[in-house]
Amino acid sequence: MKELEQRIRQEGAILSDKVLKVDSFLNHQVDTELALATGREFAKVFAGEKITKVLTIEASGIQFAMAAGIALGVPFVYAKKKKAVTQSDNVYTATVQSFTRGETYQVTVDQRYLGVDDKVLIVDDFLATGAALVGLVDIVRQSGAELVGVGCIIEKSFQEGRGLLEEKGVKIHSLARITSMKPGEVHFAEEEQSEHKLSIKERV
Ligand code: G4P
C-alpha cells in the first residue's frame, strides 16, 4: 500500500535495525482515514472469502480490526491481555511473549464470540516475531472456526514471524513489507521487486 509506505518513510522513526516507531499515525495517535483505508484494502484482498469475524489483540490491533470489520460488514473481536471481573470462565486461552514489553502474558477470548460457524480474518498492526499472531491462530484453532488468513499493517520480513505462520499453513497479507531497515533507511519488498524488474529490463 503506497500511501502507507510513504507515511513510514516520512514519519517513521527507526530506533534500531529491529524497532520502528510509528506512533504519530498508527499506534498511539491514529490517522483515522489511513486506518479506514487499510480496512478497505483487506476487504478487497479477502473478498469472496465470506469472512464472518475479524480477530485481533489489544491494544494496537484494535483500530485496524475495526476498520477491516467496517469494510467487511462484520463484527471484530479483540483478545484480552488481562482478565476482567465481568469476563466469563469459558474462554479460549493462549500464552504470548511480547516483543516490545519483554513479558509473557495470557490472552483470552470469550467462547461465545468465536465458534465453528465462523470464518476468521486475523488483523494486527505488526508482524514481527509472530508471538502474538501465533497465539491468535491457536485461539482460532481451539474454537473450531476456519482461519481465512492474517492481515498485517506492517511486516518486518527479516524477523521470524512470517516463517512461523507459514509453517502453520496460514495465508498472510501485509500492507507494507519491510525487508531491512536501520536508522535513516528503510527498504520495502515491492521496491526490491521493482528494482529487480528494472535491472531485468535494462539487460534486455
Ligand atoms: P507479532 O509478530 O505476532 O505481532 O508478535 P511480537 O511479539 O513480535 O510483536 C507484538 C508486539 O510488538 C505488539 O505490541 C506489536 O505492536 C509490537 N511490535 C513489534 N515490532 C514492533 C516495532 O518495530 N515497532 C513497534 N512500535 N511495535 C512493534 P505489544 O507490545 O504486544 O502490545 P500493544 O502495543 O499492541 O499493546
pLDDT digits (tens, 9 = 90+) for 162-192: 999 999 999 999 999 999 999 999 999 976 5
pLDDT above 70 covers a percentage of the chain that reads 92
Pocket test for ligand 1, best of 22, 23, 57, 98 (most atoms within 8 A of CB): 98
* Domain-located, residue 125: yes
SS3 assignment, position 155? strand
pLDDT in tens, 46-62: 999 999 999 999 999 99
E strand or H helix at 203: helix 189-203
Residue 152 CA: nearest ligand 1 atom is: 4
Give the Å distance between the CA of 198 and the centre of ligand 1.
34
Q: Is the peptide bond before 59 cis (omega within 30 degrees of 0)?
A: yes
Position 99 scores a pLDDT of 64
pLDDT above 90 covers a percentage of the chain that reads 84
* Domain-located, residue 192: yes
* Domain-located, residue 88: no
* Domain-located, residue 61: yes
Q: Please report, for the domain that includes residue 131, its CATH number.
A: 3.40.50.2020
Give the contacts of 4 (CB within 8 A, at least 6 positions apart). 34, 38, 153, 154, 175, 176
Give the confidence band of 92 by pLDDT, cuts at 50, 70, 90: very high
More confident residue, 24 or 82: 24
Instruction: Tell me the mean pLDDT in the region 144-171.
Output: 97
* Domain-located, residue 167: yes
Position 192 scores a pLDDT of 54
- How many domains, in total, are found in the chain? 1
Instruction: Tell me the mean pLDDT in the region 64-75.
Output: 98
Q: Is 157 in the pocket of ligand 1 (CB under 6 A)?
A: no
E strand or H helix at 175: strand 172-182
Which residues in 71-85 are b (16+ Cβ under 10 Å) and which e? bbebebbbbbbeeee
Position 203 scores a pLDDT of 41
pTM, to two decimals: 0.92
- In this model, does residue 76 exceed pLDDT 90? yes
Position 85 scores a pLDDT of 73
Q: Is 21 in the pocket of ligand 1 (CB under 6 A)?
A: yes
- In this model, does residue 194 exceed pLDDT 70? no
Tell me which residue range forms the domain holding 128.
2-80+114-203
Position 157 scores a pLDDT of 97
- In this model, does residue 87 exceed pLDDT 70? yes
Position 48 scores a pLDDT of 93
Position 118 scores a pLDDT of 98
CA dihedral 52, 116, 142, 98 (to 10 degrees): 10
Q: Are 68 and 123 in contact (CB under 8 A)?
A: yes
Instruction: Tell me the mean pLDDT in the region 113-119.
Output: 98
* Domain-located, residue 85: no
* Domain-located, residue 154: yes
* Domain-located, residue 86: no
